[in-house]
Amino acid sequence: MDNKFLESIGVDVTVEPGKILEQLEEKQLEYFERLENVSDEARENELKKILQRIEDETVQVKKVVDAISRSLIVDDGSEEGKKEAPGKKDNKIAKEIEGLKKQSGQQSDPGQVQSGKPKQDSGQVKNGKPKQDSNQVKNGKPKQDSGQVQSGESKPGSGQVQNEKKQSDPGPGKADQAAPAGRNDISAGLQSYKKGDYQTAFRIFSELSEKRDANAQLLLARMYEKGEGTSRNEDRARFWYKSSADIGNPDAQYAYGTLILVNTSSTDNEEEVKTGMTYLERAADQGHAEAMDRHIELALRGIKDSQRIYRAMGYCDIRTAQMKDSYDKNIYQDKKKALQEKRKNEARQEKAQKVPTNISIIGNILYIVGFLYLFRGIHPELWEGIKFLGFLPSVKPGMIIPWDTFTAWAGSFLPVEGIFGIEVLAVGAALSSIGATIYRKKSAKRFGKFTRYVFFAIFAWHVWASVTLDEPMPEEEIFMAVIVPMILGIIVGKIVKRIFKMNEEKDDDE
């Protein structure tokens, strides 16, 4: 193994070969991902060379792992070696692993492992194979002598290990001899994909995906998304991206979060945006560079959540520390400053929202109260029979706005409760109009929609009561008494907004 190369790509070479193999296959997947997304030709060639070296190192380490999995333990045939306890045998295997690691790293003294010590004799391991002598392994089968071990179990009386096919009772540790097929299948799938054999790659990744292999699920999702080895299917791609992401694969978390955000037509779709950002953050929190960059850009462009902006500032610090070039460091620091300024603006806007939001809510509450009092004035006999509406207090003459001309006219066909309801409607219309600015929160908008539904319900109630009771109603007078004050209230509200330079809200969801 080329330890310097492995360390340069972030592989820990101090662990056992099986762990090194796992890291190499993860790196193979990582660089394969980078190669898929690169657009620069020089960078593409560089990544291809690195990927080829990773594949070469993977083959070498697999040879070591296969040798270990066959448990080719060489001892000197001594009585002590024949009578070893299982614990000591395990220790011997561990020491032989270390010898194979040294051998694969081209160490100067790849000695035979015997009784826990390297021994330079006929059992010595050289170039990944036992030395050709009395303890030699020929044609994949060990020579039948007293010091040789085969398939992990000793023959009674001689210390020789028989082939596991001839064993009726598998010995201890035999399960550990099976080579992990999953890792090899991922590598085989990647090799098939690289060669353009998409059908084989698709079959391998499909089988592993059903076994909850997160890497295979990620690759299968991509093949469904691109229509490679199968027909293009976005729903299946989304399913496998999510499955891999939920297992914890950061590449899948990034891909799934990005897929959601790309397919979300507007940031007004809060639930979709929230889900997409959550998966991006999961990937970024695992150190996924592209996820951190995407989160930062979204926070700069459209995200208004103060907490997510603060999180993006943290990602700027992480990316700054990862950069080696001063120019790149400066870019991320500039982005952090922009995010800090945006967060301050969001805080100021949050405060600015309180006044118009509260005014709007109060205005809509007065709308509802005014409609109820107006109904009470029009149908007093019906009102008395509705107990749950008894919370409305009775109206006294002193509660009426001293507008003699209007009260005299309205009093000719409405009682005091009806006149009071009309005046409350006018005030509610003015306040609701003042609060309808771009700073108003969506909760106030939703309450405004609710007020409309209440109005239509009360109006339908009025029509039903008029028909049922069959009473002559001055409909034209009542209509004028309601509409004119409401229009005046709306006009007053708009004048106030213009005086205080309050931006008019677009009527997009009301």
Q: What is the pLDDT of residue 241?
A: 95
pLDDT-above-90 percentage for the chain: 25
Rounded Cα distance, 137 and 141, in Å: 6
Residue 216 and residue 205 in contact, taking contact as beta carbons nearer than 8 Å: yes
Q: What is the pLDDT of residue 180?
A: 39
Q: Report whether pLDDT(128) > 50.
A: no
pLDDT single digits (tens) 470-498? 666 677 777 777 788 888 888 988 888 78
* Token pair in block for residue 174: 């035999």
- Please tell me which residue, 310 or 62, carries the higher pLDDT value: 310
* Helix, strand, coil percentages in the chain from 3-state DSSP, rounded to 5: 65, 5, 30
Q: Is 9 exposed, middle or buried (0-12, 13-18, 19+ CB in 10 A)?
A: middle
Of the pLDDT bands very low, low, confident and very high (cuts 50, 70, 90), residue 98 is low
pLDDT-above-70 percentage for the chain: 70
Q: What is the pLDDT of residue 502?
A: 66
Buried b (16+ CB within 10 A) or exposed e, 446-485: ebbeebeeeeeeeeeebeebeeeeeeeeeeeebeebbeeb
CA dist list (Å): 264 to 147, 257, 260, 274, 299: 69, 11, 6, 11, 16
Of the pLDDT bands very low, low, confident and very high (cuts 50, 70, 90), residue 153 is very low
464 sits in which H/E element: helix 442-469
Q: What is the pLDDT of residue 283?
A: 95
Rounded Cα distance, 373 and 396, in Å: 13
Q: What is the pLDDT of residue 422?
A: 87
Q: What is the DSSP letter of 137?
A: E
Q: Is 143 exposed, middle or buried (0-12, 13-18, 19+ CB in 10 A)?
A: middle
Q: Is 193 exposed, middle or buried (0-12, 13-18, 19+ CB in 10 A)?
A: buried
Q: Report whether pLDDT(434) > 80.
A: yes
Residue 431 and residue 492 in contact, taking contact as beta carbons nearer than 8 Å: no
Q: What is the pLDDT of residue 390?
A: 64
Of the pLDDT bands very low, low, confident and very high (cuts 50, 70, 90), residue 218 is very high
Q: What is the pLDDT of residue 384?
A: 66
pLDDT mean over 142-160: 39
Rounded Cα distance, 312 and 257, in Å: 16
Residue 35 and residue 44 in contact, taking contact as beta carbons nearer than 8 Å: yes
Q: What is the pLDDT of residue 494?
A: 85
Q: What is the DSSP letter of 117?
A: E
Buried b (16+ CB within 10 A) or exposed e, 341-374: ebbeeeeeeeeebeebbebbbbbbbbbbbbbbbb
Of the pLDDT bands very low, low, confident and very high (cuts 50, 70, 90), residue 163 is very low
For the chain, the domains span 352-499
Residue 120 and residue 108 in contact, taking contact as beta carbons nearer than 8 Å: no
pLDDT mean over 195-209: 93
* Highest mean pLDDT of the ranges 17-26, 160-169, 233-242, 377-386: 233-242
pLDDT mean over 48-54: 83
Please state the pTM of the whole predicted model.
0.49
Task: Give the count of alpha carbons within 13 A of 227, CB side only.
Answer: 3
- Please tell me which residue, 449 or 181, carries the higher pLDDT value: 449
pLDDT mean over 293-317: 89
pLDDT single digits (tens) 227-249? 999 999 999 999 999 999 999 99
Candidate from 137-146, 276-285, 321-330, 439-448 with smallest mean pLDDT: 137-146
Of the pLDDT bands very low, low, confident and very high (cuts 50, 70, 90), residue 122 is very low
Long-range residue pairs from 113-119, CB within 8 A, at least 24 positions apart, any chain: 113/73, 113/74, 114/74, 114/75, 114/76, 114/81, 115/75, 115/76, 115/78, 115/80, 115/81, 116/88, 116/91, 116/92, 119/76
Of the pLDDT bands very low, low, confident and very high (cuts 50, 70, 90), residue 386 is low
- What is the residue type of 466? S
* Highest mean pLDDT of the ranges 216-220, 263-267, 349-353, 459-463: 216-220
Q: Report whether pLDDT(129) > 80.
A: no
Q: Report whether pLDDT(151) > 70.
A: no
Rounded Cα distance, 331 and 339, in Å: 12
Of the pLDDT bands very low, low, confident and very high (cuts 50, 70, 90), residue 85 is very low
